[in-house]
Structure 1
């Protein structure tokens, strides 16, 4: 039989463990979100890649007003660009560039949640030949714009997913229209 001191100690340990568990559940924070959009374009992959693979240009992405290279070469890992949408901008870095594989990976290194309600955004654009057509896949992983619990509506998971999905769909539809004309 347990002594009173042992029961008290056991009770205290159970209490501490339950408090720790409650705080660890509360402190979980956001989960990584993912978006992937794919489109088939009636144009040769090389032609599509020439446009999509130009890290120094986003002429095919309608909301973008300009792209400014601030360091490196647009086909070299580490290159950085500032993407302007009106008076807002984000800064992105090229993480991988594979011309032969028609793929590039980049990440936002200076967030702007007023422009895109996301943080820790990393993305991949890939073009694959399908006969005389192209399949373009644009995918990303990111966190919502508000990293703490109880985010405001404009910075929650739903807002982040809708913003990236909308951007990707708009961009890919416009790319298709440009490449097929």
Structure 2
């Protein structure tokens, strides 16, 4: 009986070449931070409204519904009127912790080469004054299958998300001043 089970398993494996070595994309993560001279409350006053992302230079406009309530939505228009859009939904929010989490519900991979994207934005106090702003995300590359094109691979997804975060954090550092300067 064992021999028959072994032979059937061997035959099945022979019929499915490459199955053991095939795999899809892995979840990627990006975390960027900046330290600013303003108090956490001042920074949160700018970042803490899910419906207003005007602080980010890539965002032309934000339209949304339900404020900071769980399941609130927003639609970001990028660049200029009529530019590409990103639809997002809020799934965690805490004024007390100065943080919120959201996920993208709709974006073209040509705009941001990711899928299954979720993100967390938080503001924390720094010892000696100022605030730490942390923006982190987790996502899959824009091409879900094996052998992705270069513009939709893991490196492209990481680079794109990192660039978005860095642009936003740089704008906040410029707005509030760098901590310790």
**What is the CA deviation profile of residues 20-61 of structure 1, one whole-angstrom value per residue up to 9, with x for unaligned ones?**
4732432x2100000000111011000001111111111221
- Pair 1:18–1:54, CA change in 2 (3 A): same
CA distance in 2, matches of 1:46, 1:9: 66
TM-score by length of 1: 0.88
More helix by share: 1
CA distance in 2, matches of 1:84, 1:36: 24
- Whether 1:59 aligns to 2:54 is yes
Paired residues in the alignment total 174
CA distance in 2, matches of 1:9, 1:157: 40
Return the match for 2:74 from 76, 81, 84.
81
**What is the CA deviation profile of residues 140-173 of structure 1, one whole-angstrom value per residue up to 9, with x for unaligned ones?**
0000001111111111100000001111111101
Unaligned runs of 5+ in 1: 1-5
> Quick check: 115-124 or 126-135, which moved more?
126-135
CA distance in 2, matches of 1:114, 1:148: 16
TM-score by length of 2: 0.88
Alignment of 1:107-126 (within 5 A): 107-126=103-122
The alignment's C-alpha RMSD in Å is 2.1
SS at match of 2:35: strand
Unaligned runs of 5+ in 2: none
Q: CA deviation at 1:122?
A: 0.3
Q: Which has the larger radius of gyration?
A: 1
Q: Report runs of 4+ in structure 1 exceeding 3 Å deviation.
A: 6-13, 18-21
Return the match for 2:44 from 49, 63, 81.
49
- Whether 1:16 aligns to 2:12 is yes
